[in-house]
Structure 1
């Protein structure tokens, strides 16, 4: 199966990123206030992809993943979704890509290998060719590490990682969690939207000035090195 060609996009190829941010806000998946992160930081915003939980929002989310995959410039032959959130994302995005004329296989992993029936810990198409890994966010990179290892053991090639939102803040060092994963595994990491896209969207809304100020202050303290 041939790799996806570079798509011909609209005059503003990044408009879908800000549209995704607006969609996440309207869906309640992107919230503002004070939230404690896994790293113990008090963040002025919080993104929870688990709140995309009906057919309409999942369909829209998959559409944004498909657009981001096509816009990424990453050559890939199939999709892989790490258990658990990645399972739905890979399946739905495959449907959206097919609707756009790119019918690609997908698969996902079980947390524990099945010892009966078809057996194994991979469900769906066999891992082959260049594989794009889909997930919601990157925290410590553990699930991405497992996915990369599974793909390589199968003789396939990890092509890249696509997540919903890149917070662009420092992980264990000066780099962001996304940058750390990309450097560790030698694969590109891309996102539907980044913190900069969040800020660009909010700056266009006069009633969101306080959120913009808080997020910019947070980014000054914890932002990753570009």
Structure 2
């Protein structure tokens, strides 16, 4: 779906504001961090550190604005355990505040054998489902969510994440030429909406080259992307 120049500018502004928010909240950090793929990354994004009411409310606002701006159509939201659970709940609240009231559901890691039982909690999975998660490393969580949604008779339709790292995924310990987001889009056929991307992070760092260590961070993140990044 093509977007206008004005809409792209709004998306860019939203992404820059989100990166600033993530840095201020201590969720986006710079240094040396080992990723699941075994790479030494110069930055780390830990959505688990959005850990109080004010941060979660602001985070949900960013998600909801990005989702609405994307133009994606969906009938309900789903949060994969565990980080996706509070995300789905708070984003559903914010979407309702913006005038789009939709049901939400989430899953348990372990099936419950008493009460209502099963692994699914919340509204019944129906129609086109938007999966809400923090980041996408290998697409594993997305595949698990897709299987749950399909088993319930609903349609996995789209995924919303906070940050697209835009880097090569790994399969069997080896780098491949696509990212997890590209895999979900091209192989699994789901739309993906990200509040911000690695390109947005680089733009943020580049615009603050004279502020403290930002120039050094920009250089290191750019080198990381040149080594592990994917073509858009």
Q: What is the TM-score when the length of structure 2 is the normalising length? A: 0.90
1:182 partnered with 2:188? no
CA contact (8 A) 1:176 1:225 kept: no
Equivalent of residue 115 in structure 2, options 117, 120, 128: 117
User: Is residue 2:25 matched to residue 1:12?
Assistant: no
Distance in 2 (CA, whole Å) between partners of 1:182 and 1:150 is 18
Q: Which residue of 2 aligns with 1:21?
A: 19
Distance 2:116 2:206 in 1: 52
- Specify the SS of the correspondent of 1:133: strand
**Which structure has the highest strand share of the two?**
2
My pick for the range that moved more, 178-187 or 154-163, is 178-187
Query: Which residue does 1:152 correspond to in 2?
Result: 150
Residue in structure 1 matched with residue 197 of structure 2 by the alignment: 194
- The 5 A counterparts of 1:4-83 are 12-14=9-11, 15-83=13-81
Q: CA deviation at 1:10?
A: 7.0
Distance 2:83 2:99 in 1: 25
Separation in structure 2 between the aligned mates of residue 181 and residue 135 of structure 1, nearest angstrom: 13
SS of 2:187's equivalent in the other structure is helix
CA distance in 1, matches of 2:154, 2:29: 38
Stretches of 4+ aligned residues off by more than 6 angstroms: none
SS at match of 2:51: coil
SS at match of 1:144: helix
Q: How many residues align?
A: 219
Q: Which residue of 1 aligns with 2:231?
A: 225
Structure 2 unmatched runs, 5+: 171-175
Q: Distance in 2 between matches of 1:11 and 1:71?
A: 9
1:161 to partner: Cα distance: 0.7
Shift of 1:143: 1.5
